[in-house]
Structure 1
C-alpha cells in the first residue's frame, strides 16, 4: 500500500504554474507602486528607513520580473538539446531573484542605515512617510493574502498544513513571493517603529537602526531562498516519504524480487526523475521483464502525476558467499 502522506506530498508539489504566475504578477504590480511612493516619502522626510524600504520594494520589483522569467522558462517543453525539459531554468532564475534581493535590498539597507547611525541626519516632515507606510501595508497585505490563499488552497486540497507545504514545495515562485511579502510586512512595521522612535527622541539612531534591521531581515530571506534554489539546481532528491511511496510501487510489481537502489531528482517545479536498479525474479522471462518495466512506468506516472522520466536497470542483488 502506498503511503497516503507520500501521495499527498507529491500532489502538493506538482501544481501547475498558472496560479503561481498570477501570484507573481500581483506581487510585482504591488511592489512597483509602493517603491515609488516610498522613495518620494523618504526624500521628503530624509528617513534612512524609508529609503531602505524604497530599495526593498525596488529589489522586490526586480525579483518579481525574474520570477516571471522563472515561471515562463520552466514551462518550455523538452527539446533535442534539453531532453529532460527546462524545469531547472525555473530554479536558476528564482535564485537570481534571491540574489537581487540580497544585493539590491539588503546591501543598500544595511550600508545606508550604518551611515545614518554614524553621521545622523535631521528628519523633516514625516507625515507622508506614515501615510505611505500605512498604504503600503495594505497593498503588501493584499499581495501576501493572494500568495497565502494559493498556498492554503493547495494545502487544504491535499490535507497538509501550509507550513509543511511551503517547506516541501518545489514551486520556487510561490515560495519566493510568500517569503518576500512576509518580509515586506515586517519591514514596514520596523520602518514605522524607527520613524516613531526618532520622532519621539529626536535622535536619528532609531531610524538608522530600523534601516539596518530591514537589511538583516532581507539578508535572512535572500540566503534562505538562495540555499533552497541551490539545492534544487544541484539535484535535490524527492522528499523521503515520497521516495518510500515510489519504492512501494516498484516492490509491489509481482516480477520484482528486490529494489536494489532508488534514486530520484527534482528536474523542475513539481517534476521528478526516477532511476532504479531492480532485481527481477529469476523465473521472469526477458519478455516478462519488459512488460513489468512498462507496467511500473505506467503505475508510477498514474500514482504520482509529476513523474516525468523513469529509468529501470535490471540488476541482481549482490549476495554474500
Structure 2
C-alpha cells in the first residue's frame, strides 16, 4: 500500500472516530448535566477532548504531505508528530484534568440521584460503548492491514484514544452502578479519578513518542545495521567512520555517512562511486530519500 492510499484510509478512520465522538460527547454531556453524574461528565469531557484531537490528526495528515520548499527542504513529514503532540496535550488538559476535578468535587457531595436518571445515563454509556468499540475495531483493522500503520502517529493516536474511551466507559458504568446500588458517591467519584489517571497516562505515552520524533529519532537499530552492512560490502569503501540516521516523516529518512575510500581513486571516480552508493541505498530502502556521503580517501599503507 502506497502512502497516498494509506493516508486516505487513515483519514476515513479518523473521521469515523470524530463522528462517533461528537455524537457521544453531546449525549454524555446532556445526560451528565441532567443526572448530575460526575462519571458521565468526565466521560463527556473525554469525548470532547477526543473530538478536538481528531481534528488535529486530520490536519496532521493533510499538512504532512506538503512537498519540500525553500524554507523546509526536507519536507513537512514532522508535522504529523507536532499535531500528535498537541493531541496528547489536549487529552491531558481537557480530559484528564477535568476528570480529576469532577472526581474530587463529587467527594464533597453525598446525594442519591433518581433511579430513572441513572438508568438513562447508563443507557447513554451503553450506546457510547458500542460506538467507541466500532471505531476501535476499524482502527485496529487498519493497523493490522497497513504495515506502516504502527509508525503512523495519527493512527496510533486513534487506537489509543478509542481504547481509552472503551475502558473509560466501562469505568464510568461500574462507578454509576455501584453509586446507584450503595447510594455512596465515592464509587462514582473514584471512577472519575480513575478515568483521569488513565487519560493522563495515555497522554504521557503519546506525548513522549511525539517528542522523540520531533527532536530527531534515529531509525531502528536493525535497519541502521543493514545500511552499515551494505556500505561495508562495497569494494570501494575501506572503512565506515560514522553513520547517522534520522526519521523525517513516515516515509522519509535522512542517512548521512562518513566513509573512507580505498586509495587510488581520482576525483571523477570518487564522484561516480558516491552516486552509485547513494542510488544503491535509496533503491534498497525507498524511505531513505535524503542520502549524504562524506567521502575521504584512506591513507596508503
TM-score, reference length from structure 1: 0.88
Superposed displacement of residue 294, structure 1: 1.4
Moved more, 207-216 or 290-299: 290-299
What CA distance in whole angstroms lies between the structure 2 residues aligned with 1:136 and 1:41?
12
The CA RMSD over aligned residues, in Å, is 2.2
Q: 2:10: which partner in 1?
A: 20
Aligned residues of 2:232 and 2:240 also touching (Cα < 8 A): yes
Question: Please, which moves more after superposition, 277-286 or 12-21?
Answer: 12-21
The SS at the match of 1:276 is strand
Runs of 4+ in 1 over 3 A off after TM superposition: 11-16, 315-319
The answer to whether the Cα contact below 8 Å between 2:262 and 2:297 also exists between their aligned partners in 1 is no
In structure 2, how many angstroms separate the alpha carbons of the residues matched to 1:102 and 1:67? 16
Structure 2 gaps of 5+ residues are none
Deviation at 1:28, TM superposition (A): 1.0
What's 1:141 paired with?
133
1:315 aligns with 2:296: yes
CA contact (8 A) 1:14 1:306 kept: no
Instruction: State how far apart, in whole Å, the 1-side matches of 2:259 and 2:32 are.
Output: 64
Match of 1:119, SS state, is coil
2:113 aligns with one of 116, 123, 129: 123
Q: After the TM superposition, which residues 186-205 of structure 1 pair with which residues of structure 2 at under 5 Å, given as runs? A: 186-205=167-186
Alpha-carbon spacing, 1:209–1:151, altered in 2? closer, same or farther (3 Å): same
Change beyond 3 A, Cα 1:120–1:285: farther
1:208 aligned partner: 189
Is the contact made by 1:24 and 1:68 (CA closer than 8 Å) also made in structure 2?
Answer: yes
User: Structure 1's 177 and 70: CA in aligned 2 closer, same or farther, altered over 3 A?
Assistant: same
Q: How many residues align?
A: 299
Shift of 1:137: 0.9
1:235 is matched with 216
Name the residue aligned to 2:84.
94
1:13 shift after superposition: 10
Q: CA deviation at 1:280?
A: 1.1
The reply to whether residue 71 of structure 1 matches residue 61 of structure 2 is yes
Residues 1:40 and 2:19 are matched in the alignment: no
1:292 aligned partner: 273
Match of 2:246 among 265, 269, 274: 265
Task: Find the aligned partners of 1:183 and 1:313 in 2 and give their Cα distance.
Answer: 47
Higher alpha-carbon deviation: 126-135 or 100-109: 126-135
Alpha-carbon deviation of 1:289? 2.1
